[in-house]
Amino acid sequence: MVSKPVTGPNPESHDDDLLRDHRELQRLFEQVEIAKTEWEQTMDCVPEMVILTNTSGSVQRCNKTFADYLQKNYYDIIGRNWTLLLCERGLPVNASHDSTRTIRENSSERWYEIKTHPYTTKGKNAASGHVTTITDITMQKKFSQQLEEKNHQIMENLRDLNDKNAELAEAYASLKKTQSQVLQQEKMASIGQLAAGVAHEINNPIGFITSNLNSLGKYLTRLSDFIQLQKKALASPGDPAILEEVRQKEKTMKMNFIMDDSMKIIEESLDGSDRVQKIVQSLKSFSRSDDGKRVPADINECLESAVNIVWNEIKYKAALKRELGILPQTLCYPNQLNQVFMNILINAVQAIKNQGTITVRTWHSDDSIRASISDTGCGMPPEVVARIFEPFFTTKEVGKGTGLGLSITYEVIKRHEGEIWVESTLGEGTTFNIRIPVIEAG
Ligand SMILES: Nc1ncnc2c1ncn2[C@@H]1O[C@H](COP(=O)(O)OP(=O)(O)O)[C@@H](O)[C@H]1O
Ligand SMILES: [Mg+2]
């Protein structure tokens, strides 16, 4: 800050006291001068513009930053109205004394914050002027604008995300619906493929049960003839001719054979009807879809159901070895597990070209139910193993494979929080391993 030099009192007095006073005053003036210069230099170092105006707005003092901003000499500023000076420079300020204002410079992107404070001289009540500071806030403004833009962008992105989320939720819901439809369709398709075999499995016992019933019918006629003859013998006891006839008839009508054979064919027929009953039960459980609720079940039964359905395919191609351990009941989707075992068993059968062995094992270990299904079929190269759980991946000819069996299997095991993995050697065979944690019904 630049100011006019301060002139001391006239030292022309020859009086000693006066001279002393004069020196004292001189010293004081010098001190004041030093303090004033220090203060002015301090104000000149401040990056803000600082202006002291009187009540009518004329500049009384200002710092170097203000003079530099106006590109004017200090003395050309003093006494002039501060708002006019700023307007000339292109900063449209009015004389308002509102404490804080933000103003943009004409034809530039620079922003300034103007703060006006009333200035009161010691001993007076009314303001004797104002101190105004003007700060270049372009950087802060740009920064806050950028922040605002970023904020806006973030809000927009959030809205987008929200929309996408809603779309995703919708897509997920429809996917889930489709998935359960696909699950059911694939299951029905597999049963469709197996239908001939299943029908054969039912027809076969029904066939021999029918023929057995025919035989039993004939045996019964002969039996009743014989009973008639015995009645006749009982009516005339001691008649040797009738007794001889009974003995003869017993031989010619092969009564002993009829009795033995009747027992055998009844046993055989009961076995047959058991078998039919099992198949029908398995079919029933396959055609039901689990309605989203886990129920306690013995996984061995799921495996047995699947074997029943696929039996006709297995029996001509493979010896089936069952090594089923005792398993605890677990909360699960039994019909979906039926399908898992059916898918793996059908694949095993299809992998065996001529004759082979399929081994099914189950055991309980470490709070998990473990199952493995091995076949001595064609095996797989690593590049096939890597893809078997992909939906629609199949190496089978059109009409034989949909490529969905194992992807559904995988999903079902995941739904049970379990694991499925495969070991396969090309030309030797394949083992599917399953682990499902036991969940006790509670
Ligand atoms: N036990 C197995 N032995 C050999 N290859 C198998 C066996 N199980 C599955 N694969 C292979 O995995 C593929 C996918 O099986 P899957 O998903 O059941 O579909 P699909 O049986 O309809 O082809 C099969 O095409 C076959 O190449
Ligand atoms: Mg399959």
Q: Which of 83-92, 108-117, 152-161, 275-284 has the lowest mean pLDDT?
A: 275-284
Tokens representing residue 385 in the block: 């193993």
Q: How far is CA 148 from CA 137, 393, 405, in A?
A: 16, 51, 54
Distance 326 CA to ligand 1 centre (A): 29
Distance 338 CA to ligand 1 centre (A): 17
Binding site membership of 377 for ligand 1 (Cβ less than 6 Å): yes
The full set of domain ranges for the chain reads 46-136, 290-442
| Ligand 1 atom with the shortest distance to the CA of 403 | 19
Binding site membership of 338 for ligand 1 (Cβ less than 6 Å): no
Amino acid identity for residue 348 in this structure: A
Q: Which fold has domain 290-442?
A: Heat Shock Protein 90 (3.30.565)
Residue 192 has pLDDT above 90, yes or no: no
Residue pLDDT, tens place only, 31-76: 999 998 998 899 999 999 999 999 999 999 999 999 999 999 999 9
Binding site membership of 344 for ligand 1 (Cβ less than 6 Å): no
Residue 16 has pLDDT above 90, yes or no: no
Most confident residue range from 193-202, 385-394, 429-438: 429-438
Stretch 217-238: mean pLDDT, rounded?
A: 90
> Do 79 and 58 touch, CB atoms closer than 8 A?
yes
13 pLDDT tier (thresholds 50, 70, 90):
low
pLDDT on residue 408: 86
pLDDT on residue 176: 78
pLDDT on residue 397: 86
pLDDT on residue 8: 54
pLDDT on residue 185: 74
10 pLDDT tier (thresholds 50, 70, 90):
low
Q: What is d(CA 231, CA 236) in angstroms, rounded to the nearest whole number?
A: 9
Rg (CA), the chain: 53
> Do 299 and 332 touch, CB atoms closer than 8 A?
yes
Residue with the larger pLDDT of the pair 279 and 378 = 378
> Do 53 and 129 touch, CB atoms closer than 8 A?
yes
Best residue among 404, 406, 433 to mutate for probing ligand 1's pocket (most ligand atoms within 8 Å of CB) is 406
Residue of minimum CA distance from atom 1 in ligand 1: 348
411: number of Cβ within 10 Å: 17
Residue 284 has pLDDT above 80, yes or no: no
Residue pLDDT, tens place only, 233-268: 888 888 888 889 888 988 898 989 999 999 999 999
Positive or negative torsion for Cα 259, 263, 265, 269: positive
229: number of Cβ within 10 Å: 17
Distance 360 CA to ligand 2 centre (A): 17
Ligand index nearest the alpha carbon of residue 432: 1
Best residue among 190, 347, 389, 402 to mutate for probing ligand 1's pocket (most ligand atoms within 8 Å of CB) is 347
Question: Which letter does DSSP use for residue 129 in this model?
Answer: E
Strand 318-324 to strand 356-365: parallel, antiparallel, or no bridges (unpaired)? Answer: parallel
Distance 404 CA to ligand 1 centre (A): 9
Burial class (CB in 10 A: 0-12, 13-18, 19+), 103: middle
| Ligand 1 atom with the shortest distance to the CA of 384 | 27
Residue pLDDT, tens place only, 105-151: 988 889 999 999 888 877 777 778 999 999 999 999 889 989 999 99
Tokens representing residue 262 in the block: 């009747």
Looking at the chain, the whole-number percentage of residues with pLDDT higher than 70 is: 95
Strand segments (E) across 185-293:
none
Residue of minimum CA distance from atom 7 in ligand 1: 347
Residue of minimum CA distance from atom 18 in ligand 1: 405
Distance 325 CA to ligand 1 centre (A): 27
Q: Which CATH class is domain 46-136?
A: alpha beta
Place of tokens 């027992």: 263
Residue with the larger pLDDT of the pair 223 and 4 = 223
pLDDT on residue 376: 98
Binding site membership of 374 for ligand 1 (Cβ less than 6 Å): no
pLDDT on residue 182: 74
| Ligand 1 atom with the shortest distance to the CA of 408 | 17
Ligand index nearest the alpha carbon of residue 394: 1
| Ligand 1 atom with the shortest distance to the CA of 377 | 3
Residue pLDDT, tens place only, 160-178: 999 999 999 998 888 877 7
pLDDT on residue 208: 92
Q: How far is CA 60 from CA 65, 119, 363, 435, 437, in A?
A: 15, 12, 99, 91, 88
Best residue among 341, 394, 423, 428 to mutate for probing ligand 1's pocket (most ligand atoms within 8 Å of CB) is 394
Residue with the larger pLDDT of the pair 187 and 408 = 408
Strand 49-54 to strand 129-136: parallel, antiparallel, or no bridges (unpaired)? Answer: antiparallel
Distance 57 CA to ligand 2 centre (A): 94
The answer to whether 46-136 and 290-442 have equal CATH topology is: no
